[in-house]
Amino acid sequence: MTKALELLLAELREHPRDARLLSKIAELQLRSGDRHDGIMTLLQLAAVYHGDGFGLKAAAVLKQVTKLSPGNMEGLRILATQYESLGLTADAIAAFREMLRVARLQRDLTNATRALRNLQRLGCADEVN
């Protein structure tokens, strides 16, 4: 771990909801090859943005997570839910469809069922097949 990252993490302990710090930390983690921690930090950043009322910023960060880790079920689920809360129904449907596709590939019955229920609730009854 670099000295800069250590300093930022120490500062984050004092200011855990600082979006600027979280963004810098995620960038450093990803640049240094620490994909797992970088993705976890991005998920934390999205939660901060969402909690502070910046839904579009949260969605953008979650989209970044799904690009970095296409099979990240948590990122897909939160992204779909975030889109829905923003009234972006078409984007929510697309994200739930991707969640269903990935869950089927991973043979994850719980998340496949969750995605399917959300798709049906959004009027996509054709997803059963």
Same domain as 34, residue 3? yes
Number of domains composing the chain:
2
Same domain as 83, residue 65? no
Sign of CA dihedral 114, 116, 117, 119: positive
Same domain as 38, residue 81? no
Same domain as 63, residue 22? yes
Domain end: 45, 69, 93, which one? 69
How far apart CA 71 and CA 50 sit, in angstroms, is 22
Instruction: For residue 120, give the amino acid letter.
Output: Q
Summarize the confidence of residues 2-18 as an average pLDDT.
93
Range of the domain at 128: 70-129
Among residues 56, 68, 75, which one has the least CA distance to residue 27? 68
Percent of all residues in the chain with a pLDDT value above 90, rounded to a whole number: 91
Q: Quick one: tokens of 2?
A: 């670099």
pTM of the entire structure? 0.88
Same domain as 40, residue 3? yes
Same domain as 81, residue 65? no
- Asked whether the beta carbons of 46 and 17 are under 8 A apart, the reply is no
pLDDT in tens, 39-97: 999 999 999 999 999 999 999 999 999 999 999 999 999 999 999 999 999 999 999 99
